[in-house]
Chain A
Amino acid sequence: MTTQVKRNIVIEKEKSLKSLFLRWETLLILLFVVVNVMNASISKNYLNTANLFTAISTFLVKGFIAFPMAYILVLGDIDLSVGSTVALSATLLGVSYNAGLPMGVAVVIALLCGTLCGLINGIILTKFTELAAMIVTLGTMTLYRGIAEMILGSQSTGGLQNVTWFYNLYYARLGAVPYIFIIFCVLAIAFGFVLHKTTFGRYLYAIGNSRVVAHYSGIPVQAIRLISFTLVGFVCGISAIYYASWAGTVRFDIATGYELEAISMVVLGGISTAGGKGNFPGTVISIFTIGLLKYGLGLINVNSQTILMIIGAILIVVVTIPNIRVQKNAAKAIKPAAKRC
């Protein structure tokens, strides 16, 4: 028997100021400040609280979706069907109400519809694990919007704002603060907490890093994926309700581009499309950054297509930067080895 030196492994984490500054979130906050400065210089009334909240509320409607989308990306998957799910859920809400059902029931129907759409995605993906999330959600994206089109055709379904409490869902405020903002904050805290402080969240990161290792470690990989996709659908239902409350009228072709925006918000927030990496606060900051950027662009009358174009460009740039850095580091690592025989 050898004499063993009792090893003492340290469990306190080293905190350094440098690491704080170089973090992605810091850059993000910087970007956020820049956007606000630009907006303030464009519009004199920008920093007026009431106006600011009005501006924020518009993008919160789709901002919700970024929360569960973050989970999906951490898992290493993707969900392109979110826009279509919102459209379908909103369509069913409008149609149910106009068919005579009480608004409360219509709202529940919208939630159920969204949840079901997400559940279908999840079931297909977990029963046929050979299929990539990309193609399945491309298919359901087409299908769900198609169903909405089947129901509404070229018609719109409206009159939703006649129900006062429904109108208030989006427009009512507690003092100066819109209720939607409050709900948003609550959900942000909830989603962030679950991701960073619960076993479920840890499992998401594990699966995103390596499905195989997660499986061998006893983690119920497919069950977690199923839950996550269903969650996306549920939140899309919420988004649909707020959309309907904001617009009062629903057509089948609403909510286009939601998948691009949601994914961009998550990716800009620092969560990698490869899975297993990233932080939630980043997502929240980038929701506001992109939202306010869109608002600012709208102030100078940039049309919505161009705005989507800019977001598309942001997405590509943000995804490319880490890859270029990785390549440079890899190149540095190879050089010394070349000396060998």
Chain B
Amino acid sequence: MSEYILELCNITKIFPGVKALDGVNFQLKAGEIHALMGENGAGKSTFIKVITGVHHAEEGTIFLDGKKVEFRTPLDAQRAGIAAIYQHVTSYPHLSVAENIFMGHESVKGGMIQWKEMHKRADALLSRLNAEFSSAALMSSLSVAQQQMVEIAKALSMDARIIIMDEPTAALTRSESEELYRISEKLRDEGKSIIFISHRLEDMYRLATRVTVFRDANYIGTYDVAQITPPELIKAMVGREIKELFPKPEVEIGEEVLRVENLSRAGYFRDVSFNIHAGEIVGFTGLVGAGRTEVVQTLFGIERYDSGKIIFEGKEIQIRKPQDAMRRGIGLLTEDRQECGLILDWGIGANITLPELRKYAKRHVTNEKVENTAAKQLAESVDVKAVTIFDKASSLSGGNQQKVVVAKALGSDLKLLIMDEPTKGVDVGAKAAIYEIMGELVQKGLAIIMISSEMPEILGMSDRVYVMCDGRVTGELGRGVASQEVILELAMAKHTHHAHAQGV
């Protein structure tokens, strides 16, 4: 008889080009609240998807109540009593709370849905969670915190014994988080076992008895919360020898290329100010949801901003669409290259030449020879591993695809290149190549804004680092001052301040 209600042994999960989990272990005791922590990309979300049956692990076994189990579909995990509550709620926005809770297993008598009884049961669940809304409310009318409560109610309605919460407090305010703590503790007292992923140290110290740390797809260790201090925990999360892969070459910093003053956009970011000079690599880091991507999308004309100034090469400018940005020499590499950066069905060459097609055409008539030659040059300059210029983009590995996107950006005369998570989903070899390319670019006088959640990247490549948290810039660090601990603290700035206030 195992003392653990859930145990995972030696789980390995591989995606094309990337190992997301490397032989990780995990044990959950019945009736405990167990925290799972680690940086972005450490493997936490993938791990949760393995537990809930969304992904199949290549290696490893899952034990439920000491017995080996296999989850072929999410439904299997649900039936086994495992429920997950994700950051992005998957619900039916047009339907009521009660329906969202009971969809698929409504109370039925003689073919007719028993609304009264369902609402009663739903309201009972909601009152257990101290919800202030009734089960008749429309799902889309609820705030994110309230929608989360509905998800928890759903889990309870299916008699879940194990509840997993992925970043439950990420979108919540102070008081809403308080509510969630109370609910979690109540569930634990009722005998449920809870795994939650969070970046907030205070969440962990408040709720969990034990914490497991993943780092770089590896299992680092499991610790008693009462016996580990914040600095020790952070060290476990980030501590690694920073192999100086390809440190940024020394480059003379030139004139100011871009200055942003008090940029704001309702609901996304507020009072963001920063600047960058020719030859500089400026890093932007922070936790997911900090607002970094939204800021740079404004610089590229994908979204509008409500107030603030953008000053490019000394002149205030308006950027309303991507063409405006591109005309001035601003380029953007998006975080999701498959969604926004590449047409997967097209060949490498066609992708590379797309933004500047007119350059390779004479009076709008395309010249394939000129295009292909230019594409070949660009592709070779970043060392894309392909045989012909017609190789389909979908056939390349993640790292190669990223190189193609870089080549695509380099087709324009750039003064400023914005790279959003440039090495996400890219293997080590390609990572090194991309860093080298970045080095070459700044040597030519380009300025690079690099958004990244990977610490080695930020510390190894940036001249200066801006840290963002919840839509604001919480700190600016020079190369010498920046360190993993300081950055992580600033990234959780609002929250660690609270943690300090509580005397933790």
A residues with a Cβ closer than 8 A to B are 4, 6-14, 197-203, 206, 209-210, 212-220, 276-277, 340-341
| The residue from A8, A198, A276 contacting B361, defined by CB atoms under 8 A apart | A198
Question: Are B354 and A202 in contact (CB-based, < 8 A)?
Answer: yes
Question: Are A11 and B380 in contact (CB-based, < 8 A)?
Answer: no
Question: Are A217 and B354 in contact (CB-based, < 8 A)?
Answer: yes
**28 pairs, A vs B, C-beta closer than 8 Å:** A8-B380, A9-B380, A9-B386, A9-B389, A10-B389, A11-B376, A14-B388, A198-B361, A198-B364, A198-B365, A198-B366, A199-B357, A199-B364, A199-B366, A201-B366, A202-B366, A203-B357, A206-B354, A213-B343, A214-B354, A217-B354, A218-B355, A219-B354, A219-B355, A276-B343, A340-B58, A341-B56, A341-B60
Q: With contacts A7-B385, A209-B343 known, is A341 near B358, CB below 8 A? A: no
Interface set, chain B 331-386, CB cutoff 8 A to A: 332, 334, 339-343, 345-346, 349-350, 354-355, 357-358, 361, 364-366, 372-373, 375-376, 379-380, 383-386
Residues of A within 8 A of B349 (CB): 11
Of A13, A209, A213, which is in contact with the most chain B CB atoms at under 10 Å from its CB? Answer: A213
Interface set, chain B 291-324, CB cutoff 8 A to A: 300, 302, 321-323
Q: With contacts A9-B376, A198-B361 known, is A215 near B302, CB below 8 A? A: yes
Closest 6 CB pairs of A and B: A11-B372, A10-B388, A217-B355, A218-B322, A218-B326, A209-B343
Question: Are A217 and B59 in contact (CB-based, < 8 A)?
Answer: no
B365 to chain A, nearest CB (A): 6
Interface set, chain B 186-218, CB cutoff 8 A to A: none
A338 to chain B, nearest CB (A): 9
Question: Are B390 and A13 in contact (CB-based, < 8 A)?
Answer: yes
Residue of A nearest to B297 (CB): A216
Looking at chain A's contact residues, the main secondary structure is: loop
B355 to chain A, nearest CB (A): 4
Q: A9-B379, A11-B376 are in contact. List 19 more A-B contacts (CB 8 A).
A: A7-B384, A9-B386, A11-B375, A11-B389, A12-B388, A14-B388, A197-B365, A199-B357, A202-B357, A206-B343, A209-B345, A209-B346, A214-B354, A216-B302, A217-B355, A218-B323, A218-B326, A341-B56, A341-B58
A222 to chain B, nearest CB (A): 10
A23 to chain B, nearest CB (A): 16
Question: Are A9 and B387 in contact (CB-based, < 8 A)?
Answer: yes
Residues of B within 8 A of A6 (CB): 380
- Interface membership of B57, Cβ < 8 A: yes
Taken together as a complex, chains A and B put the C-alpha atoms of A9 and B352 apart, in Å, by 14
Residue of B nearest to A13 (CB): B390
Residue of B nearest to A11 (CB): B372
Q: With contacts A197-B365, A217-B354, A218-B355 known, is A212 near B339, CB below 8 A? A: yes
Residues of B within 8 A of A341 (CB): 56-61, 70
B59 to chain A, nearest CB (A): 6
Of B343, B346, B350, which is in contact with the most chain A CB atoms at under 10 Å from its CB? Answer: B343
A307 to chain B, nearest CB (A): 36
Residue of A nearest to B324 (CB): A218
Of A206, A214, A276, which is in contact with the most chain B CB atoms at under 10 Å from its CB? Answer: A206
A4 to chain B, nearest CB (A): 7
Residue of B nearest to A10 (CB): B388
Taken together as a complex, chains A and B put the C-alpha atoms of A30 and B59 apart, in Å, by 52
B53 to chain A, nearest CB (A): 13
Q: With contacts A11-B376, A198-B361, A341-B59 known, is A213 near B385, CB below 8 A? A: no
Q: With contacts A11-B376, A206-B354 known, is A217 near B322, CB below 8 A? A: yes
Residue of B nearest to A200 (CB): B364
A11 to chain B, nearest CB (A): 4
Of A6, A10, A209, which is in contact with the most chain B CB atoms at under 10 Å from its CB? Answer: A10
Taken together as a complex, chains A and B put the C-alpha atoms of A198 and B380 apart, in Å, by 26
